[in-house]
Chain A
């Protein structure tokens, strides 16, 4: 019982300290990445409804390094009409990964990439079907 309470207390204290000075959705998304990860970066995305669904609208870049396992967590804010999705392209504009399977319609809340090619990658975020929404994409390293 005592051990349980101490664990609960430490966990609570960490969450409180974390939540004090950042957006709750970002804090939650970082915590959701899991205990075996280390935070690297986050992208905060807010988009209206697209005129026509198509190319992902929020584009950003990031260097990814060989021999590193990355985790891309996707968190959609309450009240969003669409779910946050991600595709990553290499410098040759080829899709390396997508959190959305267009064949099955399945979406993943996180995707891990075992990176074997160092380079600058393009991270493309949008909300599924070009719908309106806000969300956070967190990039972490997996231990």
Chain B
């Protein structure tokens, strides 16, 4: 009887909250307008091209997931803990640091160090408000999910979705340079994380993932290019990216061909690629990439 009463209470609470959520969600219709089809490559405006490029940059969650798969233990040493949001005065600093901390947040979330992420969340909120995009970062919900540790999926979704919305808003409002900075910040911190772990826990899979970044490095540079002459800070960042690109110059990525193999398991379709990508990178090239990434990232963090 006592159990039934408790269950009834939960159901009533759930029903009430669901009703409240429905009206809340209805006011946030998030589908694009009908027939909003991305145009062909040739017809793309530069802003649309930038949007496509932004999507190509890998998520820091993927790097953190790889580290977990490789049983690499969590270390707070890799985080940009020294960054003080109160010292970020320019929009450049704020947007770039927002990217750096976004990657750190992904790393913390994946390792479920969610209690430790509250400080970073506070910094992210401050920085987001600093460039007037705080409304897209649902700090309270993310904080609650972090503290409850009950639903990692929701936490990942909320965190990533907030960044996606900020990015879109900035681009839609002619502040593409800040969107580019945020994306570059996310990538540099993810790359720093991967290369630092590589020095402590060398692994062929991680080594390949570092080498494969050559695939998107050109895109990253394309993203920054329109703003390289905007101000001295951006100019320096562009030169840093060129330096990283230079360290990848002789890294080779080759492909072996093969047809994908499909099978159905319990009604679900699983496709396995038989074509593969192979990274050719010498130890010296890897060392060079690790050093340049560390130097660029630490310089940018120190500037902040």
Contacts and interface: CB of A to CB of B under 8 A. Distances in A.
B69 to A, nearest CB: 8
Interface stretch (B120-128, B172-180, B226-234, B273-281): B273-281
Nearest to B39: A59
B3 A115 contact: no
Interface in A18-64: 18-24, 26-27, 30-31, 33, 35, 37-42, 44-48, 57-63
A39 B28 contact: no
B138 interface: yes
A80 B235 CA distance: 49
Contacts of B30: 22-23, 26, 44
Interface in B133-154: 138, 141, 144-145, 148, 150-154
Among A17, A33, A67, A134, which residue has the most Cβ atoms of chain B within 10 A? A17
B260 A23 contact: no
A31 B28 contact: no
A17 B152 CA distance: 12
Interface residues of A, number: 64
B38 A22 contact: no
Would you call the interface of chain B mostly helix, strand, loop, or mixed? helix
Nearest to B68: A143
B61 interface: yes
Among A14, A39, A118, which residue has the most Cβ atoms of chain B within 10 A? A118
Contact of A108 (B33, B154, B156, B268): B268
Contacts of B156: 38-39
B197 interface: no
A50 B32 CA distance: 17
Interface residues of B, number: 70
Nearest to A19: B21
A31 B216 CA distance: 30
B85 to A, nearest CB: 23
A42 to B, nearest CB: 8
Contacts of A39: 153, 156-157, 160
19 contacts: A5-B6, A13-B148, A13-B151, A14-B154, A16-B18, A17-B148, A22-B30, A24-B25, A30-B153, A39-B160, A41-B55, A65-B58, A65-B209, A65-B212, A97-B262, A108-B268, A117-B277, A118-B208, A120-B56
Interface of B: 3, 6-7, 10, 14, 17-18, 21-22, 24-25, 28-38, 52, 55-59, 61-62, 65-66, 110, 138, 141, 144-145, 148, 150-154, 156-158, 160-161, 164, 205, 208-209, 212, 215-216, 219, 253, 255, 260, 262, 268-277
Given A10-B151, A46-B31, 19 more contacts: A14-B145, A17-B144, A17-B145, A22-B30, A41-B160, A63-B215, A63-B216, A65-B58, A66-B212, A97-B260, A110-B269, A112-B268, A112-B271, A115-B273, A117-B275, A117-B277, A118-B215, A118-B253, A119-B215
